[in-house]
A and B are shown apart, each in its own frame.
Chain A
């Protein structure tokens, strides 16, 4: 059976060159794989920069890099990880790959626009990399680019901001594409409440991409105008208000963390029923809570600015709204646990990752509530406590679920199986390393270790050293995981169409899927996640593959 690796559609007709057939392909699965390789490459760069900082902080004083380089390093790390890795990772890789497969469509609504998004991503990424080697090097403002420092520092802020703007455009176009695809291309009969939950997560995330990204886009442009022309919207000497920058920045960047996590929650909702062999508990509540998180998440940005100067009543409103986000999130967690309850859980690697993330994201989420409390936030604001919280949610939530997805859909994407035992080892390595790396930061932060500092007092040395060891374990685990996956893709056993007993449509076609996915588009009058006696109830694979 020929797969999408053998044939493709491109923008400019057929090419002889294999590379051109990839970078001009408008097939959603190929675009997804382009994103997979590029985002993972940047992830490794981000990891390398982080490791450099951890090694530098292993002892007080200067070891390898000077303070200015350190400032550039944490800016580079933050910019790469947010704009080049974690925002595009789940929507652009797995959203692209799975969206049409799960809703029974042949492609996304705008395949050319989809490819353009990847090209824009590459353009933004190249510009960011280029700015490393130009003039005074990469920006040293932190990935938040706070004014007025960002409009006065001598480093390449304009290039970094332009890159972020282009990346935002790419993310926005992906969002538009997904919303239209979900509205228009669901297979006949598939109502919104018959969609897989990963689609619900991607749908909510796509709306955030559409609504919030333009806000940060124009804000970054205003900083560019300030640096190049001296317009002065955020310049206090010209009457501008730097706090306004912080508001506008966080109006995007706080919803952005929900746009990162919502598809990750979707991944959990796919994996849990499959490995528990049970219908998911509270399908509708999970679906609607995704939308609720997206809506409420839009109104909580002020909690980043409790120490920046804001009316007390505004702080209380923002604090209360922040607590409220925990409600739909908690609904999801209880639904997942209720699904597991009395299920015959199969602990394959994807399920292990989910179990891991229920612990790490649980910690990350609850410490988020601590930070959302006005009084406590004044104490721990801009300390390692925030760094630890952020990584527990973003790495322990989003990246963990990206890794889970990489294992769960591995057979579907590659048509091969990875080595289960080795994959489990890589999970335990990363999980243990992760906790050793970031848990001490909660304590250090609570004791007063500020974030983004090049040097520290001797009493914090022990926490930095434990974290340094954790970093080494984590990095070893990441490389081992990548090795196991690459080896699986090259030399693994051939995968069956449905190795895990999944119920969504992508498991009922061949692995890897053929070009245009389905021989026949079905009429979907059934819900996902239906199991009986530990087996999926619906089997329409013959119809989908065109076998009469």
Chain B
């Protein structure tokens, strides 16, 4: 996978005293790949922060409405989903640990378990949304428009934030499937596991977002 034209890669530069100093190879830089991905995660944090700040702002303005609407949410389903994501983060971490220990089949198994729990999460999410749509609560619906402004904002933010989070889960599943094929053809192995590691970092972020989303949507109304 080298992009080098020349077969020989210069490894060291020498200072005046002839002491060698290592040159970082741009085509094979573990720390660089990780740093880049952390920066990407940073942009994701900024993205969600905007939504959380917006939520905070409207919660401050329409506290009673938000608490009332939150009280009507199905905390059981939300709770199951929280546990599921926590579990999936554990599976993802174990997949990475197993890969580092060169236990490829175990790593694959854990990755599949992560994918399965993500799919169950989405299924539960689907039933939650379907229920709300069924009783006539969705953006711009007649029922919602007849409710208070706070209720409109609460559900607007609820659909936007859980929706954006679900899109991240779907993308994550796609990435994990891609990682799985890379494990099969051995391009991810116990020596080169940066792609898997970055995927695990991404998955932690997705789960972290939910950890904050869960109390804001389901718990404040208790």
Interface residue ranges, A against B (CB under 8 Å): 7, 9, 26, 105-111, 113, 172, 175-177, 179-181, 183-185, 187-189, 210-215, 217-219, 222, 225, 229-233, 238-241, 244, 248, 515-516, 520-523, 525
* Contact pick for B26, options A108, A211, A240, A241, CB 8 Å: A108
Interface residue ranges, B against A (CB under 8 Å): 3-6, 10, 12-16, 21-24, 26, 29, 31-32, 35-36, 39-40, 42-44, 46-51, 54, 57-58, 61-62, 139-140, 145, 148-150, 152-153, 156-157, 159-160
Q: Could you tell me if B42 and A233 are in contact, using CB atoms closer than 8 angstroms?
A: no
The answer to whether A248 and B50 touch (CB under 8 A), given A187-B13, A188-B21, is yes
* Contact pick for B10, options A214, A222, A230, A521, CB 8 Å: A521
Interface centre among B43, B50, B153 (most CB of A within 10 A): B43
Q: List 24 A-B contacts (CB under 8 A).
A: A7-B5, A9-B3, A107-B26, A175-B39, A176-B43, A179-B39, A180-B35, A180-B36, A184-B29, A189-B15, A210-B42, A214-B47, A217-B47, A218-B47, A229-B139, A232-B139, A232-B152, A238-B153, A239-B58, A239-B62, A515-B5, A516-B6, A521-B13, A522-B13
B9 to chain A, nearest CB (A): 9
User: Which of chain B's residues has its CB closest to A515's CB?
Assistant: B5
> Which residues of A sit under 8 angstroms from B159, Cβ to Cβ?
229, 231
> Which residues of B sit under 8 angstroms from A185, Cβ to Cβ?
24, 26, 29, 32
Rounded to whole angstroms, the CA-CA distance of A240 and B39 in the bound complex is 32
The answer to whether A238 and B152 touch (CB under 8 A), given A213-B43, A217-B47, is yes
The answer to whether A239 and B36 touch (CB under 8 A), given A26-B3, A230-B140, A233-B160, is no
> Which residues of B sit under 8 angstroms from A109, Cβ to Cβ?
26, 29, 32, 36
* Contact pick for B153, options A108, A175, A215, A240, CB 8 Å: A240
> Which residues of B sit under 8 angstroms from A241, Cβ to Cβ?
57
The answer to whether A110 and B36 touch (CB under 8 A), given A184-B29, A239-B62, A522-B13, is yes
The answer to whether A184 and B35 touch (CB under 8 A), given A108-B26, A232-B156, A233-B54, is yes
> Which residues of A sit under 8 angstroms from B61, Cβ to Cβ?
239
Interface centre among B23, B42, B49 (most CB of A within 10 A): B23
Q: Could you tell me if A211 and B46 are in contact, using CB atoms closer than 8 angstroms?
A: yes
Q: Could you tell me if A180 and B32 are in contact, using CB atoms closer than 8 angstroms?
A: yes
Rounded to whole angstroms, the CA-CA distance of A525 and B157 in the bound complex is 54
User: Which of chain B's residues has its CB closest to A206's CB?
Assistant: B39
Total A-B residue contacts, Cβ distance less than 8 Å:
137
The answer to whether A233 and B156 touch (CB under 8 A), given A189-B21, A214-B46, is yes
Rounded to whole angstroms, the CA-CA distance of A183 and B26 in the bound complex is 12
Q: Is the interface of B mostly helix, strand, loop or mixed?
A: helix
* Contact pick for A176, options B6, B36, B58, B145, CB 8 Å: B36
The answer to whether A215 and B5 touch (CB under 8 A), given A184-B29, A231-B156, A523-B14, is no
Q: Could you tell me if A188 and B26 are in contact, using CB atoms closer than 8 angstroms?
A: no
> Which residues of A sit under 8 angstroms from B47, Cβ to Cβ?
214-215, 217-218
> Which residues of B sit under 8 angstroms from A184, Cβ to Cβ?
24, 26, 29, 31-32, 35
User: Which of chain A's residues has its CB closest to B65's CB?
Assistant: A239
Q: Could you tell me if B160 and A225 are in contact, using CB atoms closer than 8 angstroms?
A: yes
Rounded to whole angstroms, the CA-CA distance of A172 and B45 in the bound complex is 14
The answer to whether A231 and B139 touch (CB under 8 A), given A188-B21, A222-B160, A238-B153, is yes
Rounded to whole angstroms, the CA-CA distance of A239 and B13 in the bound complex is 63
> Which residues of B sit under 8 angstroms from A222, Cβ to Cβ?
54, 160
The answer to whether A523 and B156 touch (CB under 8 A), given A233-B54, A516-B6, is no
> Which residues of B sit under 8 angstroms from A179, Cβ to Cβ?
35, 39
Other A-B pairs, 11, CB within 8 Å; known A229-B139, A233-B157, A239-B62:
A109-B26, A176-B39, A180-B32, A188-B22, A225-B160, A229-B140, A231-B159, A238-B152, A244-B54, A516-B5, A523-B13
> Which residues of B sit under 8 angstroms from A516, Cβ to Cβ?
4-6
* Contact pick for A214, options B13, B43, B160, CB 8 Å: B43
Q: Could you tell me if B149 and A239 are in contact, using CB atoms closer than 8 angstroms?
A: yes
* Contact pick for B39, options A26, A108, A210, A231, CB 8 Å: A210
Rounded to whole angstroms, the CA-CA distance of A264 and B42 in the bound complex is 26
Rounded to whole angstroms, the CA-CA distance of A229 and B144 in the bound complex is 13
The answer to whether A219 and B26 touch (CB under 8 A), given A180-B35, A183-B35, is no
User: Which of chain A's residues has its CB closest to B156's CB?
Assistant: A231
Rounded to whole angstroms, the CA-CA distance of A183 and B58 in the bound complex is 40
A189 to chain B, nearest CB (A): 6
* Contact pick for B15, options A113, A212, A525, CB 8 Å: A525
User: Which of chain B's residues has its CB closest to A524's CB?
Assistant: B13
